[in-house]
């Protein structure tokens, strides 16, 4: 589809590694790119790699990457005809998708009508049921108070999950094993949901015992007539309902199960009139092998590279191609799954302190390589991990002919991956991959909480890297990067009376 009339210029309404990933895809397609950045992100790579960048002025997400008016105006002011939201922030916002449409900008994702439905977990469950897709027992309406929550929990039996009807990323989810815990957790789930998503609609669903978390990557054309799946991913290794390790294919999914779960995903995608790329998520009962629909993630997933590695399909490019021409650039028969890919989310967190977020300057960074290794990151030595945004530092992926080869390659890469200056989850990932249960593919969503994993720091000669870091001047790179950023960024007219002139706000 190289002869397709692509967009002339696309604004990336995001930051960090996903913004860099999208910019690279745009460059290969010869499409102009515009980045936006907050004050703390002024010298981050996405601001300098794009053809142009606009300062959103501010630090907090609400005043920068979540400000619809600022982003729309930045796109119009820089002559863009489309916006890619990445993941997180405004990626699943029906208001943002509608604002793009109203301002003559193509939103590279689902239309607002679809996002209104897919963004409501309760509504999606009702639709799934109506199409014959299995779901676990749940409250079909939002709960009005904690007494109603305790009554329903007693009816379906403990344990249960209290969940926000909106949002994702594990936010607003609490487990309750008895009535007392329902009462304790109801208010905290409500508060977190309101804080994270601005809404606090809470419902309850039955919690399965030791299930697998299996999701299906789908892409759909603009009319939802053609829906293609790209196989499944296993995201069962998680803590506090947030994913740590993902892989494709799943060690427990055979061809018969794959046909079933992918057909269920396509049924749901058509039912909500889905378009562009998205993910349909399921739980697999470990005892029966039955699948139960959970939710739709109406955006690119953090873990999308594992699917790219086993299918050879560039999902970001596919998103842009669908948004440009309305059609999927391949058929279902073109999709072939080969080998196995595993991803570790390297977060700036201290696993010894219950995964507390860590901040600070990355003094030194050693990126691993070798056959089958892929690293997605925007981090560089000298950059600061701020408290304003998600703790994701990098995504480390490996590919092998099978699960075991991919696991061994990933372990070697984890040994080589060094981030000096802040605590990361690298030692914890080493412990996961060395665990015998994990190596056999015998794990589920309770793996982290029931397995005594001690962060593995063996064989890491940290002194070598610390000395290397000290020999580097922290400011050695910053002058050049700042200059490059200044050459590509400017203060937009709608934020200042000083029109024209690049980087006139003097960051």
Neighbour tally for 27: CB within 10 Å: 14
Q: What is the DSSP secondary structure assignment for residue 498, as one 8-state letter?
A: -
392-400: strand order across its sheet: 291-297, 276-284, 212-220, 227-239, 242-248, 340-347, 392-400, 373-377
| Chain-centre distance for alpha carbon 283 | 18
Q: Would you say 12 and 22 are in contact if contact means Cβ atoms under 8 Å apart?
A: yes
Q: Among 233, 299, 374, 430, which one carries the catalytic annotation?
A: 299
Non-local (6+) Cβ contacts of 131 within 8 A are 267, 268, 271
Strands 160-164 and 242-248: unpaired
DSSP 113-129: HHHHHHT-HHHHHHHHH
Catalytic annotation present for 450: no
CA 273 to CA 250: how far, in whole Å?
27
CA 261 to CA 290: how far, in whole Å?
10
CA 498 to CA 507: how far, in whole Å?
15
Burial of 293 (0-12, 13-18, 19+ CB in 10 A): buried
Non-local (6+) Cβ contacts of 255 within 8 A are none
Question: Would you name the residues annotated as active-site residues?
Answer: 299
């Amino acid at each position: 589809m190289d002869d397709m009339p692509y967009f002339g210029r696309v604004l990336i309404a995001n930051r960090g590694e996903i913004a860099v990933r999208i910019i690279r895809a745009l460059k290969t397609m010869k499409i102009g790119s515009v980045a936006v950045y907050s004050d703390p992100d002024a010298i981050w790579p996405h601001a300098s790699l794009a053809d142009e960048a606009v300062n959103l002025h501010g630090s907090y997400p609400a005043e920068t990457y979540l400000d619809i008016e600022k982003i729309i105006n930045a796109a119009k002011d820089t002559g863009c005809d489309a916006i890619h939201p990445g993941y997180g922030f405004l990626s699943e916002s029906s208001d943002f998708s509608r604002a793009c449409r109203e301002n003559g900008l193509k939103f590279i994702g689902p239309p607002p009508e679809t996002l209104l439905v897919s963004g409501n977990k309760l509504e999606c469950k009702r639709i799934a049921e109506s199409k014959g897709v299995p779901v676990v027992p749940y409250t079909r309406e939002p709960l009005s108070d904690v007494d109603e929550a305790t009554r329903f929990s007693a009816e379906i039996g403990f344990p249960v999950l209290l969940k926000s009807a909106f949002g994702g990323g594990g936010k607003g989810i609490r487990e309750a094993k008895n009535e007392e815990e329902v009462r304790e957790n109801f208010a905290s789930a409500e508060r977190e949901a309101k804080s994270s998503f601005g809404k606090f609609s809470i419902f309850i669903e039955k919690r399965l015992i030791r299930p697998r978390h299996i999701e299906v990557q789908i892409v759909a054309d603009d009319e939802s007539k053609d829906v293609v799946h790209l196989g499944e991913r296993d995201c069962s290794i998680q803590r506090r309902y947030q994913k740590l390790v993902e892989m494709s294919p799943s060690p427990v999914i055979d061809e018969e199960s794959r046909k079933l779960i992918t057909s269920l995903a396509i049924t749901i995608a058509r039912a909500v009139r889905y378009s562009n790329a998205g993910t349909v998520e399921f739980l697999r009962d470990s005892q029966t092998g039955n699948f139960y629909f959970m939710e739709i993630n109406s955006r690119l997933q953090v873990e999308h590279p594992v699917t790219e590695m086993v299918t050879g399909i560039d999902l970001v490019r596919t998103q842009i191609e669908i948004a440009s021409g309305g059609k999927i650039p391949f058929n279902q028969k073109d999709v072939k799954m080969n080998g196995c890919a595993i991803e570790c989310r390297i977060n700036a967190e201290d696993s010894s302190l219950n995964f507390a977020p860590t901040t600070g300057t990355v003094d030194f960074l050693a990126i691993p390589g070798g056959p089958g290794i892929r690293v997605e990151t925007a981090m560089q030595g000298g950059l600061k991990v701020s408290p304003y945004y998600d703790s994701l530092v990098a995504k480390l992926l490996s590919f092998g002919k099978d699960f075991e080869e991919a696991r061994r390659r990933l372990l070697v890469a984890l040994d080589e991956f060094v981030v000096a200056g802040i605590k990361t989850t690298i030692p914890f990932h080493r412990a996961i991959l060395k665990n015998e249960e994990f190596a056999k593919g015998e794990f589920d969503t309770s793996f982290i909480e029931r397995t005594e994993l001690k962060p593995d720091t063996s064989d890491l000669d940290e002194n070598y890297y610390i000395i290397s870091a000290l020999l580097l001047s922290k400011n050695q790179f910053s002058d050049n990067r700042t200059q490059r950023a200044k050459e590509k960024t400017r203060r937009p007219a709608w934020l200042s009376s000083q029109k024209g002139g690049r980087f006139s706000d003097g960051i």
